[in-house]
Amino acid sequence: MSDRAGVYIGVDIGGTKVMAATVSDDGTVGPIARRSTPGRRVEVSLVEDALTEAIEEAATGRPIAGVGIAAAGFVDAEGERVMFAPHLPWRDDPTRSRLEARWRVPVALDNDANCAARAEVALGAAQDASDVLLVTMGTGIGGAVVLGGTLLRGRNGMAGEFGHMQVVPDGRGCECGGEGCWEQYSSGNALVRYARGRMWHESFVGTTLLEELTDGDPDLLTGPLVTTAAERGDRLALQAFDEIGEWLGIGIANLVAAFDPELVVVGGGVSAAGDLLLGPARVALRQSLVGAEHRFIPPIRRAHFGPEAGVVGAAALARSVS
């Protein structure tokens, strides 16, 4: 390691698991230590025990120069507190300072989408850009905004909550309590919902790979299975990607009208499908964007980092503040 004072460790704490690893300054990720997330109804100390175990495993006895934490939740604008996290017990909790006191190393904190954006800007698909929107497509849609090379945090630290922008009046109900949220039409959940709803349609029954891949049980359908089928040319799976890809492009057109960025990066699990998803999105962006004929239209690029984006970005954050 080139770091003088020890290793930098990135930690990603999501709804189901904790991942931690050393990350070198060129983005090389060490062996990943994993723990299960203890859940949101447990004592906060149990979550912190899991984090502590994970970083100790990742450090393998080397001195630690800093730890960055990417949290699946709302982090305040100062990077001090986790205000709310649907799958974790933190509620308006001074997470950063308490972990720093416990571990006696510098700790930095941000939400997972912001950390993924840091990874893409520092070492990934957005290295050449300073005004970037990141859209993460997983179960839902997350997002982050980089302007002039700096992350936009917002008054509450909640900038970039793209998934809950309303795209359909009185549309599909959303877990957030709203209706017609973007992520109800373009996300991993939307992909599976679309494909599942048509598996037994007369034009697909007996012909779609999805039947084979799920042993005929639509409840077993997952996003990765739809991706597999689409990659093999399955018509229903391709239609499902066309559907969520078009909605992705429409939502991106709205964001581009507001932010006018130079680049849009799409990450998250669903982005593994690459151009199956991004192709239809690019067409829809061009069709939907105001003044398309009078402007530079930002490219839509697939993120460089996959599941390790949060770890890499969290470590980059720790390095940048130390």
| Residues forming the site for its own copies (CB under 8 A) | 74, 83-84, 131, 143, 145, 147, 152-169, 176, 178, 181, 250, 253-255, 257-262, 288, 290-291, 294-296, 298
User: Of the two residues 30 and 163, which places its CB atom closer to its own copies in the complex?
Assistant: 163
Q: How many CA atoms lie within 13 A of 57 on its CB side?
A: 16
User: Of the two residues 30 and 261, which places its CB atom closer to its own copies in the complex?
Assistant: 261
* Separation in Å, CA 180 to CA 74, 93, 128, 131, 240: 22, 31, 35, 28, 18
Burial 211-249 (b: 16+ CB within 10 A, else e): bebbeeeeeebebebbbbbbeeebebbbbbbbbbbbbbb
User: Of the two residues 145 and 300, which places its CB atom closer to its own copies in the complex?
Assistant: 145
- Residue 7: CB minimum distance to its own copies, A: 33
User: Of the two residues 66 and 157, which places its CB atom closer to its own copies in the complex?
Assistant: 157
User: Of the two residues 171 and 279, which places its CB atom closer to its own copies in the complex?
Assistant: 171
- Residue 173: CB minimum distance to its own copies, A: 14
Backbone angles phi, psi at 12, to 5 degrees: -120, 120
Distance CA 166, CA 221 (A): 27
User: Of the two residues 118 and 319, which places its CB atom closer to its own copies in the complex?
Assistant: 118
Contact residues for 8 (Cβ-Cβ < 8 A; gap 6+): 22, 23, 24, 25, 64, 65, 66, 67, 68, 315, 318, 319, 322
- Residue 152: CB minimum distance to its own copies, A: 7
User: Of the two residues 117 and 315, which places its CB atom closer to its own copies in the complex?
Assistant: 117
- Residue 49: CB minimum distance to its own copies, A: 26
Residue 57 corresponds to which tokens in the numbers above?
């495993």
- Residue 296: CB minimum distance to its own copies, A: 6
Residue 22: alpha-carbon gap to chain centroid: 20
Distance CA 180, CA 170 (A): 6
User: Of the two residues 30 and 157, which places its CB atom closer to its own copies in the complex?
Assistant: 157
- Residue 304: CB minimum distance to its own copies, A: 21
Spell out the alpha helix ranges (H) of 29-111. Answer: 44-59, 95-103
- Residue 239: CB minimum distance to its own copies, A: 18
Backbone angles phi, psi at 91, to 5 degrees: -135, 110
Rounded to 10 deg, the angle between the 188-198 and 223-231 helix axes is 70
- Residue 75: CB minimum distance to its own copies, A: 12
Q: How many CA atoms lie within 13 A of 264 on its CB side?
A: 28
